[in-house]
Structure 1
Amino acid sequence: MSVIVIAVATDSGVPIFSRKRGNCDNVQFSTIASLHGINMFSKCHNLTIMKTQVDNGSILWKEYCKSVTLIGIVTGGLECDLELLLLYVHNLMVFCIGKKELENLKNIDQIKRELRQCYPILDYLLEAVDPNCVSQTCMFLDLIQSMLCPQAQQLQQVLDSYSERVTGRWPCLSIHGHIVATGTDFYELDSVEAKLLMLLAASQDGAPLRETPIYLPQMSPNVAFRAVTCKLLADVYVLVICGATPPLSEIDEIVLQCWENSAHIIKEAKLVYPRNFPLSITFEPCILGILIINIPKKRCVFSRHLAGNQKGKNISSLHRIDVLRTFFVTTARDLAPELQIKEGDDKECCSSQCVPSEAYWCSEYHKWHARRIADLMACVLYAPTVPIHTVRLLTNQILQEISTSKEVFW
């Protein structure tokens, strides 16, 4: 499996960056020039080349801001997510340098240097289309990975207080790259912006306190904000968007005042990982993996560590992730058309469509079942011996338990 994303200046064809993941060689300049030449040749003839198939994969071209062409190449991965990947890469470029800078491209060498800061986040995005990757942070491009812990409501109250003290907005708290609590105003953000902020917090690489200028691709593509990320404990980060004040030295003091008395709550919340569900929610041994999605908030909770006596222990964790992720991306996603991310103003309403409420696959080695009830969807991986009628019953019970549990707080 391999995935490559290349950015080139549309008019000049000068490469801006090339990032890859998987078993592939670095892309030569001559290859980049040829790929861009194909796109330019079609434009000269008033044609738009969208996609082409290659051996065991495909190549996709997308132009953004009339200045940058993104080329995506994937072999052996989740090809159906390639267009979504390029959309996220474009938004990430705006997130880092702003839309106006991206449209003008006056100094490409400077833009190349400025975009290096986005490489860690870009690598997270590439993980989402790699079936061989056990990603803690970005299993799905269009969903925010989360944990459900009993302490979430208490942590949200502390988070709102901290945000108010630093005169910030849209705060979030992550543990092991999973969102645990968000500020009450967090969902004012577009889902792409929320996803990129979460990945920014995950990519801080251990820095105790850091500020990063960022642009919000939908809300503020041309005016920068200041994202302040603070490491509270190992693998625990809090992020908030601030103005020019207060300075980092003052924020450091506020962090201590707000969070010092909550350290024991955070440590209790950390114990929920990697199960990612409260212990009060139980799962049958025949369940090998589970994905729960909160559709309006575009948050997901995934776990493969459900019980100590699971059937099918010989199935690797990597394989469980791969087959469950493939089931969601290729089939179960159709149960929630609201998750589709439209470009620009293309936000066509899905209410008139006939949307299924459940789906399942069967094979010699597994059974998969997806069920949607109201705003929650469950995708569950079962042992192959479980009858279909039992599969449906168990999935319904899981959704019912999660929707009524007092220890679940999104």
Structure 2
Amino acid sequence: MDEEGGAFLVGVATASGLPLFCRPPRPQVPFPLVGALHGVHLFGAAAGAELRQAATPTAHLGWAGYGDSLTLIGLSPGPAPARILDSAFGAMVLLLGREQLLPVRNEERLKRELRGCFPLLDSLLSPGGGWGMGAPCWPLPPGPARDALQERLRRFAGAAGTDLGCVVWGGGVAWLSTAPWGALPEADSAPLRALLAPPPPEGALRGGVAARDLPVFLPNSSPEVPLRLLQLRLLPGVGVGLLCGPRPSLQLLLTQLVPQFWGPVLEQLRARPRPPPLPPQVLGYLLIHRGRRQSGILKGAGPGGALPPPLRAAALRRLLRLLEPQICPKSGGRGPHGRPKLCYLALPTHTGCCLLRPELTLLLLLPPGTPRDPLSPTALSALSALGHG
């Protein structure tokens, strides 16, 4: 495992066993280890068994095969569910398209093309990148100001000939989108959010290079036909993104549509506050709202005795498994009439708190020994900070 607690991802051509990539590149996973891990997976398949996960005293491993020609192997200090591998595969499809990946025709060529996916893969594999639990971001909370900006975004996207648009603050910390963008499946929206987080170099209304125009494939909705992803930086820390077809031209956007729609509200965009900070005792969170996940690992040291940041994502996943009977009971309900419920779990290294509401689950990672009484106010405060108060 790497020293910062991140995960490793290895891509292997299934038939030949040739490693296609290893992320992150340092420290490099030894080739004999890659061969052994791939061989174990092939041996299981030959025996009619599908090997998905395994664990050693120091690491958790996961395998996933795609199209009988590409195998992804994940190694992490915490459990490595298929969700992490599927997120990585979705990121690769987003930038290359399914036809370019599957089946693997030319291994050396694919190795070169996969290099363009490395920055996105590295961001997803980092401890702060979601670890397959969901991208760390906050949708803006409801209110008149948000409604006005959302209507402006809708008209801006319509003028560009699309209904798929979003505004991003703080490198993806805050988020606003049109209704069709918000309705995209999580398999499409999660890698898009990660891709849009790094802004273009300068503001679209301040001259200079201010945009990115690149083809993308939606892993779930359009894995073989590319769309255009246009990303425009309006101000430092504020950008707008569009998914569209061959029109409009980038020049039309920069010279006409951006000044027309966003010029009048620059000060409002600049002054837009970030969502309220989470309570100081929160070490990490996982929010599941209508099947969509978003998560965050707080990088602060926390109170004395708190888990260090590299171990918090794994602790969140363990809490999710332990509290799953409460979150998804076999009876199919969350208590009578779907009433809100608060669950907690006290462990030697941390405390877990789970707030259940109809269509919403919030899981908080807290320091060990956290008293029971303040859990409810803490959960409600965190929920408000995440835009669901």
Q: TM-score with structure 1 length normalisation? A: 0.76
Letter in 1 for 2:21: F
Note the alpha carbon deviations across 1:113-141, whole angstroms, 9 max, x for none: 222222111011111xx3xxxx2x54663
Are 2:218 and 1:216 equivalent residues in the alignment? Answer: yes
Match of 2:292 in 1: 298
The 3 A distance-change label for structure 1 pair 96 and 318 is: farther
Instruction: Indicate the residue corresponding to 1:345 in structure 2.
Output: none
C-alpha contact (below 8 Å) 1:143/1:195 kept by paired residues = yes
Q: 2:246 aligned to 229, 244, 247, which one?
A: 244
C-alpha displacement at 1:350, in angstroms? 8.4
Which residue matches 1:343? none
Identical residues among aligned pairs (%): 23
SS across alignment from 1:118: helix
Task: Quote the offset at 1:328 in angstroms.
Answer: 3.6
Q: 1:122 to 1:303 in 2, by over 3 A?
A: closer
Q: Which residue type is aligned with residue 162 of structure 1? A: F
1:257 to 260, 266, 287: 260
Provide the rounded CA distance (Å) in 2 between the counterparts of 1:157 and 1:4: 42
**1:201 partnered with 2:191:** no
Once residues 85 and 190 of structure 1 are traced to their aligned partners in structure 2, the CA distance between those partners, rounded to angstroms, is 16
**CA positional deviation for 1:236:** 1.9
- Matching of residues 138-149 of structure 1 within 5 Å: 138=130, 141-143=133-135, 145-149=137-141
Match of 1:267 among 267, 270, 283: 270
Higher mean alpha-carbon deviation, 42-51 vs 222-231, is at 42-51
Aligned counterpart in structure 2 of residue 18 of structure 1, from 16, 22, 30: 22
Match of 1:187 in 2: 182
Letter paired with 1:14? L
Amino acid at match of 1:262: V
**How far has the Cα of 1:331 moved from its partner?**
2.2
In structure 1, the residue corresponding to 2:274 is in which secondary structure? Answer: coil
Call closer, same or farther: CA 1:375–1:56 in 2, change over 3 Å: same
**Aligned 8 A contact 1:10 1:69 in 2:** yes
Q: Contact 2:217–2:225 at 8 Å: present in 1 too?
A: yes
Count matched residues. 368
Whichever residue aligns with residue 78 of structure 2, its letter is L
TM value normalised by structure 2: 0.80
> Which residue is equivalent to 2:338?
none
Q: Does residue 91 of structure 1 match 2:59?
A: no
Query: The residue matched to 2:261 in structure 1 has which SS?
Result: helix
Distance 1:350 1:96, change over 3 A: farther
**Which whole-Å deviations, capped at 9, do the CAs of 1:227-246 have from their partners, x for residues lacking one?**
11111112222111010111
Supply the distance in 1 between the matched residues of 2:62 and 2:254 (Cα, whole angstroms). 45
> For residues 161-192 of structure 1, what are the alpha-carbon distances to aligned partners after superposition, in whole Å with 9 as ceiling and x for unaligned?
11111112321211122242111111331112
Is the 1:332–1:359 contact (alpha carbons within 8 Å) kept by the matching residues of 2?
A: no
2:320 and 2:96 mapped to 1: Cα distance? 35
CA RMSD between the two structures: 3.7
Tell me the residue number matched to 1:78: 78
Work out whether residues 295 and 336 of structure 1, in 8 Å CA contact, stay in contact via their aligned partners in 2. no
Instruction: Confirm or deny: 8 A CA contact 2:319 2:352 kept in the other structure.
Output: no
> CA separation in 2, counterparts of 1:10 and 1:213?
27
Report the counterpart of residue 116 of structure 2 in structure 1: 117
Question: Is contact 1:365-1:383 (8 Å) kept?
Answer: yes
Partner letter of residue 196 of structure 1? Answer: P
Q: Cα–Cα, structure 1 residues 385 and 183, in superposed 2: closer, same or farther, change >3 Å? A: same
Aligned to 2:156: 162
Q: Counterpart in 2 of 1:391?
A: 375
The 8 Å contact of residues 342 and 354 in structure 2, kept in 1 or not, is answered as yes
Query: How far apart, CA to CA, are the structure 1 residues paired with 2:60 and 2:168?
Result: 35
Q: What is the Cα deviation at residue 265 of structure 1? A: 1.5
Distance 2:63 2:367 in 1: 40
Structure 2 CA distance for partners of 1:86 and 1:303, relative to 1, 3 Å: closer
Separation of aligned partners in 1, 2:60 and 2:315: 20
Residue 65 of structure 2 aligns to a residue whose secondary structure is: strand
Provide closer, same or farther for how the CA distance between residues 233 and 408 of structure 1 changes in structure 2, counting only shifts above 3 A: same
Determine the structure 2 residue equivalent to 1:232: 234
List per-residue Cα deviations over 1:347-403 (Å, max 9, x = no partner). xx98854658432133578644221122333444567676424433x257548x84x
AA aligned opposite 2:241: L
Supply the AA of the counterpart residue of 2:344.
Y
Aligned twin of 1:4:
8
Unaligned stretches of 5+ in structure 2? 202-208, 336-340
Contiguous gaps of at least 5 residues in structure 1: 278-282, 306-311, 340-348
Q: Is the 8 A contact 1:226 1:243 kept in 2?
A: yes
Structure 2 counterparts to residues 122-141 of structure 1, below 5 A:
122-127=121-126, 130=127, 135=128, 138=130, 141=133
Taking a change above 3 Å as real, the CA distance of residues 409 and 331 of structure 1, as seen in their structure-2 partners, is: closer
Aligned-pair CA distance for 1:289: 5.3
